Structure 1
Amino acid sequence: MESNRKSPYYPDIPLFLVLIPFISAFNYYLTYANVKFDWWFAFTYTLDTLIGYAAWLAVRRIILWLDKKIVYTQFAKRVTLQFLLTTFAGLFIISFLTELSSLIVKGKWAHSSFYNYDLFIIAIWFFFINAIYVMIHYYYQWQGTAQQVLLEKQKLQTGFLVREGKNENRIPFENITGFSVESEYVVLYTMDGKQYFLDTPLEKIASELPSNLFFRLNRQFIAHRDQIMGFIKLENGKISVSLVEESALPSEIPVSRTKAPAFKRWFRTSD
């Protein structure tokens, strides 16, 4: 999800650098009936904003840590744990720094209303902050899916680029029977019996092919859907894929136990 972004949740940093002061100001609006805009207000507002930044940075660090532990596919577990951990950590930091600053500045503990009223409002803001991070995650997930669909469409409209001497030609995908690894090269086979020797790894070639037309059967072979007749089951979950007799590829190609389920789904899916 990184690509050219500065962080996996970009633009969260510039967003919250602006949003935290606004949250702090809104909390003042909800908490105090009469606010005097004097030096004391400027001091306390700045201090509360800095405390807010500290709590948000802790929240962000927890979210990035959770990204390595629990994926969003476990949505209920991930979101519940994220909300509880970030809220607890954020409220703890705000409470600790508020008490510390009160002792330093006033020489006494924070007023009891801070715990009776202020912390409740702040806890609601942590729900809002978490919601922003969840939405950013799913936005980039949707964006990645949309880009993948567009890429697949672009692939279908073109073909595979090969070199013939000094020329570069694009072979339509429907004219390609498959690819095989031969010694140091990968060989591209066409319907009309031509062969092209490529110095591109088979793995990279597979990533450049439309996934609905081609399947990488194993480390040596990629086959076009039209060349595949069916498959038979072997022991230990393996399968053997049968190709048409006139194919340049072998008539039977083994597929491993780990790749067999993906092939079955692909084969049973129509174009």
Structure 2
Amino acid sequence: MVKKHTSPYYPDIPLFLVLIPFISGFNYYLTYTNVQFNWWFVFTYTLDTLTGYVAWLGARKVILWLDHKMPYVDGFIKRVTIQFLLTTIVGLFIISFLTELSSLIVKGKWAHPSFYSHDLFIISIWFFVINAIYIMIHYYYKWQGTEEKVKSEKEKLNTGILAKEGKMEVRVPFSNILGFSVEKDYVAVFTNTGKQYFLDSTLEKISSKLPEKLFFRLNRQYVVNRNTITGFQRRENGKLSVTLTDNPSIPQEIMVSRTKAPTFKRWFRNLD
């Protein structure tokens, strides 16, 4: 199983805690001439590093917010473009504000104009690096999760589902199952062999044990096999009408709610 961490981008926090002091040192070398190791160097370097931490945390907050509001799956180019622009704007604003504030406190005057014409340009380049690191971490976890999911799906495909046939308990292969439907206190299992089984369980519990690539829960009453679906049509209010193969066991048309419609379309198009 993939190990769960507090941060969805682990190990970003320890990584940037180490990386930002190096970035500050590199920027210091590019920004200042005739650098001397004295109290002023220690003071300004420490101040730049602390400012860098605050700017990174601001950019990180933007990325986490975008994960909820604009996930990568909704459009990679759009997400990356907006992420880069927002993180850069937020980060540079934080750095500019703290630099001006510290300049007023320490020197009693505004920051030198070269800060905006030279320093901020160098700093903005680092936001490319920050965003690239977060994007790589995101897709690494996505790839890792996909590997685990594929392994889990293969294991599920090999198991099938246990059902009762009279006094016997039989294993029904998933490839033989057309779908499931709620029938009063039981869940009916329809197969391509014409046999029908009843399970003493809830549709929700059964759904959690099914291979996600093969089955989809269309609504509260039906779960169907991908191979029984011939297509779908858009209906009013964002709903979908899913068309199934002609079979007396299940309806030829089942409605999908507006909230489930986007998930169904991604599943049907193999985008998840």
* Structure 1 residues not aligned, in runs of 5+: none
Structure 1 residue aligned with 2:161: 160
Deviation for aligned residue 1:244: 5.2
Structure 2 residue aligned with 1:79: 80
Deviation for aligned residue 1:52: 0.8
Deviation for aligned residue 1:204: 3.3
SS at match of 1:7: coil
Structure 1 residue aligned with 2:103: 102
- After superposition, residues 40-189 of structure 1 pair within 5 angstroms as 40-72=40-72, 73-161=74-162, 171-174=172-175, 176=177, 178-188=179-189
SS at match of 2:187: strand
Identity percentage of aligned residues: 60
SS at match of 2:35: coil
Out of 197, 200, 206, the residue aligned to residue 198 of structure 1 is 200
1:213–1:89 CA distance, 2 compared to 1 (3 A): closer
Maintained 8 Å contact 2:186/2:198: no
Maintained 8 Å contact 1:231/1:239: yes
- TM-score, normalisation: structure 2: 0.74
- TM-score, normalisation: structure 1: 0.74
Structure 1 residue aligned with 2:10: 10
SS at match of 1:186: strand
Structure 1 residue aligned with 2:37: 37
Deviation for aligned residue 1:159: 2.4
SS at match of 1:56: helix
In 1, the alpha carbon distance for the partners of 2:245 and 2:124 equals 61
Maintained 8 Å contact 2:188/2:196: no
Maintained 8 Å contact 2:219/2:256: no
Supply the AA of the counterpart residue of 1:97: L
1:158–1:127 CA distance, 2 compared to 1 (3 A): same
In 2, the alpha carbon distance for the partners of 1:57 and 1:225 equals 44
In 2, the alpha carbon distance for the partners of 1:123 and 1:131 equals 13
Rg larger for: 1
State the Cα deviation string for residues 134-162 of structure 1 (Å, max 9, x = none). 22222223333333222221212222256
In 2, the alpha carbon distance for the partners of 1:152 and 1:12 equals 30
1:42–1:180 CA distance, 2 compared to 1 (3 A): same
State the Cα deviation string for residues 196-247 of structure 1 (Å, max 9, x = none). 5322x21332232234554546533445578x597999x98746645556xx
In 1, the alpha carbon distance for the partners of 2:35 and 2:127 equals 25
Deviation for aligned residue 1:46: 0.9
SS at match of 2:142: helix
Maintained 8 Å contact 1:188/1:198: no
- Structure 1 stretch displaced more, 202-211 or 190-199: 190-199
Deviation for aligned residue 1:177: 5.9
1:161–1:13 CA distance, 2 compared to 1 (3 A): farther
1:50–1:172 CA distance, 2 compared to 1 (3 A): same
State the Cα deviation string for residues 76-122 of structure 1 (Å, max 9, x = none). 33222222222222222212211221222223333333233221111
Supply the AA of the counterpart residue of 1:56: W
1:114–1:46 CA distance, 2 compared to 1 (3 A): same
Deviation for aligned residue 1:21: 1.0
Tell me the number of residue pairs that the alignment of Structure 1 and Structure 2 aligns. 257
* Structure 2 residues not aligned, in runs of 5+: none
Supply the AA of the counterpart residue of 1:94: I
In 1, the alpha carbon distance for the partners of 2:226 and 2:117 equals 67
Maintained 8 Å contact 2:230/2:244: yes
In 1, the alpha carbon distance for the partners of 2:101 and 2:230 equals 72
